[in-house]
Amino acid sequence: MTRFTTRILAVAAALLLAPAPLAAQPVRPEARQDARQESRHETRQPEGRRLPADATTQHSLTLSDGRTVSFTAVAGSLPLVDEAGKLQAEIAFTAFTLPDREARTRPVTFAVNGGPGAASAYLNLVAVGPWRLPFEGTSISPSAAPVTVPNDETWLDFTDLVFIDPVGTGYSRAAGEDAKRYYGVESDAAILSAAIARWLRTNDRLTSPKFFLGESYGGFRGPLIARKLQDDVGVGLSGLVLLSPVLDFGSLQSPRHNPLGAVTRLPSLAAAGLERRGETPDPARMQAAETYATGPYLADLLRGPADNAAIDRMTERVAALTGLDPALVRRQAGRVSGASYQRDADRESRRVASAYDTGITGWDPDPSAAQGRFADPILTAMLAPLTSAAIDLTARTLNWRVPNLRYELLNNAVNLGWNWGGGRSAPEVVSDLRQILSLDGDLRVLVAHGYTDLVTPYFASKLILDQMPSYGSGDRLSLSVYPGGHMFYFRKGSRAALRGDALRLYETALAARRRGGEGR
């Protein structure tokens, strides 16, 4: 353990042990919530804070099926301090809670995006929050109006939601100039765990069932945060939902000479081929591609590119699955890269596909160039509308204005400065996932992917999860795959299917909690 990691854990412990900012004397029951909110702004707050006081607003939304959701929104920040009370960082958050007298037993979900370097606006404003920025169709325009609509698939009716921005994202900032000390696997997980604990204590929610929702690298964070909450802070999670996660960077970033990368990528390329033919990927349609990938395809890959007969077999089958030109497949010895698919699948139309979802495309800026250099039609195209929508939601709808800080939706400085650790092995959280599932017989985990995601292919997670023991009930660790890509929740059907799967996970986790430990 490094000296800095030790310091971070000390900060987390200090946050847990520090007095909670509660009202100094009894208050009337109807005024208790107001007193709690006011107490957050007492003079005991650490010096040096740059973010404004928290803002609380009330809202009511009518959804398309006639449901009405009334809720309280709090936009603000959590000050993290060291043992001496000195400010270390301010973690911005947005919380949506129902006005429920049973709030202390109502589930609460903490949502974090990935990157590293991404704010939580993706999950908040496109996936599960009460408002949604529509991204419809097969292309995204940066100049699209950043106007949100009520989200029919919000999770707010079955769990309170707290969206957290790690240091360097959104409006979250480190105190002082040394923000990079928080840009690392261990320190990041420790600080986020401390922030979750702080929110729970400040809002009297330690007795609530607690869940974690993470996307991409946020999914990688999930098992790490669950262990740190258990071991270092004293908080247990009832469930994790991991969207398009990286569970093992070793399996995700295999070099070209390692056949595993081609094996895990092929089913996603085959799903892209299905969509280009007008078909929708589903388990039945994908079965043939998955069986081929782990059978004859892997066997031919192991024979190597010098085996012409193996290349012939792979060329025929891979071209048929993906819809790519057989000559292209042959040139790559059957090992089709995601980047080549992006540019060559629709070269005749001079369109390029997103690595995050091959169903979303844009124009090739230089179609005659030998090598393609183009901005991603999803990741780059959505930066402007989603940033504007996030700022507008925070400032105008939630009345939390931060005039002197830049809002960082996707901070490349965080990503490029990330400390991945100094070990010989690539970072992975499979071992952490094993530990939390084996220790807590009530814990449930859902891993969810999109079929046409070339960034974190679903088959990589499937192969990993297939190697996990059952840990009792077979539904404690499950995989769901939906039409769409990395942000499969762009698609209404997939967004609704995710909501249904998540709701079932919450129901089974809460039932296990009520039974008091069945399966231990």
> pLDDT tens across 55-111, in order?
999 999 999 888 899 999 999 999 998 888 888 899 999 999 998 767 788 999 999
pLDDT at 209: 96
Round the average pLDDT of the chain to a whole number and report it.
Answer: 88
Give the confidence band of 44 by pLDDT, cuts at 50, 70, 90: low
Read off the pLDDT of residues 429-451 as tens digits, 9 standing for 90 and up.
999 999 999 999 999 999 999 99
pLDDT at 518: 46
pLDDT at 98: 94
Give the confidence band of 257 by pLDDT, cuts at 50, 70, 90: confident
Give the H/E segment covering residue 447: strand 444-450
Q: Is a pLDDT exceeding 70 seen at residue 31?
A: no
Contact 200, 210 (CB under 8 A): yes
Q: Is 79 left (phi over 0), alpha (psi -120 to 50) or beta?
A: beta
- Work out the average pLDDT over 256-283: 94
Read off the pLDDT of residues 148-170 as tens digits, 9 standing for 90 and up.
999 999 999 999 999 999 999 99
Average the pLDDT over each of 31-45, 207-221, 311-325, 461-475 and give the range with the smallest value: 31-45
Q: Is a pLDDT exceeding 80 seen at residue 12?
A: no
Beta carbons within 8 Å of 496's beta carbon, 6+ residues apart: 152, 153
H helical segments located in 82-169: 121-122
- Work out the average pLDDT over 455-467: 96
Contact 493, 481 (CB under 8 A): no
Between CA 387 and CA 391 the distance in angstroms is: 6
SS3 state at 450: strand
- Work out the average pLDDT over 31-49: 50
Between CA 146 and CA 394 the distance in angstroms is: 13
φ, ψ for residue 176, nearest 5 deg: 85, -165
**Sequence letter at residue 381:** A
Read off the pLDDT of residues 104-146 as tens digits, 9 standing for 90 and up.
889 999 999 999 999 999 999 999 999 999 988 888 989 999 9
pLDDT at 250: 86
How are beta strands 239-243 and 210-215 bridged, if at all? parallel
